[in-house]
Each structure stands twice: as structure tokens, then as C-alpha cells.
Homo-oligomer: A and B are copies of this chain.
Amino acid sequence: MSDRLNVIVVGGVACGPKAASRLKRLMPDAEVTMIEKDRIVSYGACGLPYYVSGEVERIEELMETPVGVQRTPAFFEKVKGFKTLTETEVVRINRTEKTVAVLNLPSREEKTMSYDKLVLATGGQPFAPPIPGIDLPGVVQLHHPDEAVLVREKVEQGRIKNLVIIGAGLIGIEMAEAMIKKGAKVTIVEMLDSVLGALLDEEMGLLAAKPLKAAGVNLVLGERVQEVLGDGKGNVCGVKTDSRKLEADFVIMAVGMRSESKLAREAKLELDGNGHILINEFCQTSDPDIYAGGDCVSNSNPLYDPGERLFTPQGSTANKHGRIIANHIAGMKEAFPGVLGTVICKAFDTTIARTGMTEKEAGRLKRNVESILWTGNDLPHYYSGSNPLCIKIVVDRENRQVLGFQAVGQGDVSKRLDVVVTSISFRATIDQLAYLDLGYAPPYSPPLDPILTVAHVMQNKIDGITRGISPLEVKRMIDRGRDDFVLLDVRLPKECEEMTLPYEEKTVFIPLGALREKLESLPRDKKIIPFCKLSLRGYEAERILSANGFKDVAFLEGGVLGWPYEVRKKMGEEI
């Protein structure tokens, strides 16, 4: 045996190549071997929907470096200096001997390789629910480039006309956009009552559904798929849910990921309660010579109690794990700080994002929180390309710490997400968020960036300076037929003509500029809920009414643009 450090990396996508490359840079003398069961390595898996949509022209682009060099075993050998075995599976770990049993898949030959350090970057697998028909050839999961190639080929040949996507998660949404662009009719069936239901609060999920519906996606929510129907000749012909039958000639399964932890489990490495490999802050498993990272592990979250884990498979996290692993093997004890559950997703012209805790999750964790839904524009109104954002933030009522952010909008959500991610990472209070010296010029932001304005409104709410009411609560009052409140639309008549909440019978119309003069036309014995297009004038109306002795006033958070249910547009069109 040589005296060079011998490292085996299992898994050739994201975490694996990152760990191997970094390690060779830190320890040029180490012997590093990366083992991958597939025939290809190091592809940009997150780019698959964009290959299907045609945004990415050639599938090879997802396996290339920025200058067009294929990331093959030869590339890794020459450029990065480590060996890669493809079509080779690690089938067993012998922790006592510090060896792995390695199976060459084409030849079925097995051999034993020894390691000083072992890195498990075995990734994840899409969950395949045990329902009849799931094995039909017209059902894929969009996890491997081959599947993306198949789907694009079929849809370009006109052989996918009616696509059913099972699952309204990230892949489901990205694939809906890709396939609509390619001309398919797309239905998404989702067990939960809203889009991205595991990631967003109810009203945000409803807002996230709007761009999908607007683009023609048929959203079937709250139904469970029971069977993929075949025509007897091996073709998909439909999908049966618990309450209907949907036509389909192709099905994409996108109900979520499971970590690939079999190897670890069989080696008796510790797993978390959900079967993900358990790692410490250096990405070490319960065996300190075995590391794990990427989609096969769960993570800590600084917002959680110690010990509680979050599974959030992301290429970004996998790359960070790879770096932490290489650093630790090389003797640099850099700790991974965990994740906040950040997610961002493009849905047609809209961006959907979240980080930290939802209000729902805060409830589950019994945190005493305040939340606000806010709507506004990302740029000054006079600057072209100014677009709306609906932002919800969640704040700890006791220590005023920002706990969570969700947003849906055509405006620049991504920047505001990352500002809040950074803020939460440093345990920012809402008061600190409120005065950040963010960049201001008209092409980039209004003088007070949306995220600062949201923080200001939250301060007002938490300090009792204003009272808001969530659209969910208003909808419940309407649905229960309550008549102890009025909606007060303070917009200009021309705005009301363009788009309104479909409850004119409950609405009083007084433009904000006339409100001070017309106070007497409002009932003093009912709750008054002022609103405008966004939130600002609704808030100002609340202040005016409260200052004039109205006892029960709360502005509608998010206004008309943030109303998560149908609104009535000019010409009676409901969206």
C-alpha cells in the first residue's frame, strides 16, 4: 500500500466532483478516485427542464465546462488530476477493513478497493409512488438526461399532446412551463390543496398558481392519483385520480425526492428519522472516516432546534458540501452552517421563492409570530419594466427576528430573496432589515427597496401602529356570509373599472383623496377593511379612519394584486 492518502468518492454529480476536484487542489499527492454507476458524470441536473424547453439547445451543454469542454473521466484526469470510474457501482462498504466492493456494471466483475477516507455523494432518487401503471414506458421522472432527451424528442415529434404531471413541486412547475412552450397541453395533479404546498403558506400557494393558470396549465389540486392508465399496448392513455379520469398520452412523475442512502444504511451508518444520512457540521457521518454530502443527506437549519433536520436537495448545497468535505479531509476544519430551506423557481413570467419558516411551519414549531403580506413594485413606477411583487414575511413577535420570506411576482424576487436569506443568516431583526443601505438607482429599485418597505409595514403592524388583515381571513368572512364588515375600495374610479374584487355588494368606493371629506358615509358599527391596488393607500386609509375614531379598521394586506382568489377584470373576465 502506498503512503499517499487514498480517497474514494461515490457519486459523480455535484458533490462528488466538487469534493474530488477541491481535494486534489488542496492535496495534490492524494490518490482520489470518483466512482459513478451511470455512464455520464457531472451534469447540470437542474438544467434538464431548460433542455426540454429548448432554452438549452444541446443536452451536452449540461455536461460541458463554460468553454465547451466535456466533463468526461479523461477531463477529470487531465485537468483535475483524479480518476473516474463510470458504469461502476459501489455495492458494499466494509468499515472495519476500510474497503468498498465495487461492481463493474457492463462486465459484472466485482473487485475490492481500499480507502483511507470515503465520500458518499450518492444523491437522491425521485419518489415513485406504488400505483398501477407507473412502470409504463410513457411515465418518466425527469431525473436523468436520457429522460429529458426522450421527452423533448417525443414532444417535438408531436407525440406528447396531453401531458399529466403528477406533483406541483419545483420540477412539476418547471416542466409545465417547458412543455407548454413545446406546445403540449399540460395538467398538473397535486395531492395538496395548493402549488408548492410543502414550501409555501396557503395564500402564497394560491398566488403561485395564478401564473400557471394564466399560461393555460390545467391545475387539479387536492386530488390523489390512483393509477396511470394504459391502453393495453404499453401506451399511457390516462390518469385516474380519486375523483376523475384525466386524458393523457404521457406522464411525468414529480412527487418529490428521496435520498439514496441504501449503501450507508447497509453499512450501519446513522440515518435521520426520515432515512437521510446523518452528518455533522464537517459532513462526517457516524463513521469519521466516511463523509457524505449532497442529496443523500439532511441538513441542520439555524432556525430549528439542534437535532432537527431539513431535507432540501439542491445543487447549491451539494457543491458546498463537496467543498466542506475536501477541506476537512485536508485538515481544514470549516463548519457548514446549515441551510434555511431556500427555494427559487421560475413559472413562466413569474418568480416564486421562499426561505426560512412559513407561518404554517412557525405554528408547528409553536413560535409566536407575526406575518404580513405586501404587494408593491420592484422599480419606480415611472421606470419601464417595473413589475409587481407579493411578499410575505414572518417575524418572531418576541425577539423581532426575521424568520421567513415568501414571494411571488413578475418583478425581481431573486434579489429580495437573497437579501432576506442573508439577513436571516445573521439573525437580523425586522428593525435591522428596515434600514439596510441597499443599492438605489431607478433601474434597480425604488428609493425604499420593497424589502425595506415590507419591513416598515411589519414594524408598524407589530408595534400596533397599523392593523392589517390577511386575504385568507377576509375570504373566510365573505364565505361565511358575515355582514358585520364592509370593504372600502380607496382607488380611483378608473382603477376600479379595470379590476376589482368580485364583492361589489360589500364594497364602498371612496378614493383616498376624498376619504377625509366623506367619513360620515361609512358605518361606525361595522369593521371597515380599506384596500387599494397594492397596500399603501389601504394602509393610509386605515390610518385616517383610525385617527377619526373608527374603532375597527384593518387594511387588506396585499390589495387587489395580492388577492389570492379570483379578481374581476374589465369585461367581466375572472382571473
Contacts and interface: CB of A to CB of B under 8 A. Distances in A.
Interface of A: 14, 25-26, 28-29, 44, 46-47, 50, 55-56, 61-62, 64-69, 75, 78-81, 170, 174, 314-320, 323, 332, 334, 336-346, 351, 353, 355, 377, 380-384, 412, 414-415, 417-419, 421-423, 425-426, 428, 431-432, 435-445, 447-449, 452, 456, 463, 465, 491-492, 495, 512-514, 516, 533-534, 540, 543-544, 547-548
A391 to B, nearest CB: 14
B513 A383 contact: no
B383 A50 contact: yes
B419 A449 contact: no
Contact of A319 (B415, B448, B514): B448
B381 A318 contact: no
B421 A418 contact: no
Given A382-B47, A418-B419, A426-B428, A318 B447 contact: yes
Given A342-B438, A412-B414, A422-B422, 16 more contacts: A25-B543, A28-B547, A44-B447, A65-B381, A67-B533, A314-B447, A315-B447, A316-B447, A316-B449, A317-B437, A332-B463, A337-B432, A344-B439, A414-B444, A415-B415, A425-B432
Contact of A339 (B340, B412, B437): B437
B46 A442 contact: yes
Most buried by B among A50, A80, A428: A50
Contacts of A419: 418-419, 421-422
Contact of A435 (B25, B62, B336): B336
A50 B382 contact: yes
B441 A345 contact: yes
Contacts of A334: 431
A317 B449 CA distance: 11
B337 A491 contact: no
26 contacts: A28-B543, A28-B544, A47-B383, A61-B381, A62-B382, A67-B533, A69-B492, A79-B540, A81-B516, A316-B445, A316-B447, A316-B448, A343-B439, A344-B440, A355-B437, A414-B444, A414-B445, A415-B418, A417-B438, A417-B439, A418-B438, A418-B449, A419-B421, A421-B437, A423-B426, A426-B428
B337 A447 contact: no
Q: Which of A336, A418, A465 has the most CB of B within 10 A?
A: A418
A341 B106 CA distance: 61
A412 to B, nearest CB: 8
Contact of A320 (B65, B435, B512): B435
Contacts of A547: 28-29
A344 B421 contact: no
A319 B447 CA distance: 7
Contacts of A66: 377, 381, 534
A67 B432 contact: no
Contacts of A445: 316, 414
Nearest to A424: B437
A46 B447 contact: yes
Nearest to A26: B465
Contacts of A341: 437
A362 B491 CA distance: 51
A55 B270 CA distance: 60
Given A426-B426, A491-B67, A14 B447 contact: yes
Contacts of A383: 47, 50, 55-56
A268 B381 CA distance: 40
Contact of A414 (B332, B344, B439): B439
A67 B533 CA distance: 9
B415 A436 contact: no
A421 B439 contact: yes
A332 B431 CA distance: 12
Tell me which of A384, A422, A438 has the highest count of chain B C-beta atoms within 10 A of its own C-beta.
A422
Contacts of A340: 437
Given A377-B66, A444-B344, A439 B513 contact: no
B436 A421 contact: yes
Nearest to A447: B315
Contact of A44 (B75, B319, B442): B442
A379 to B, nearest CB: 11
Contacts of A422: 419, 422-423, 426, 428, 436, 438
Report the 3 A-B pairs with minimum CB-CB distance, sorted nearest first.
A28-B547, A426-B426, A344-B439
B442 A323 contact: no
Contacts of A513: 69, 75, 78-79
A439 B444 CA distance: 19
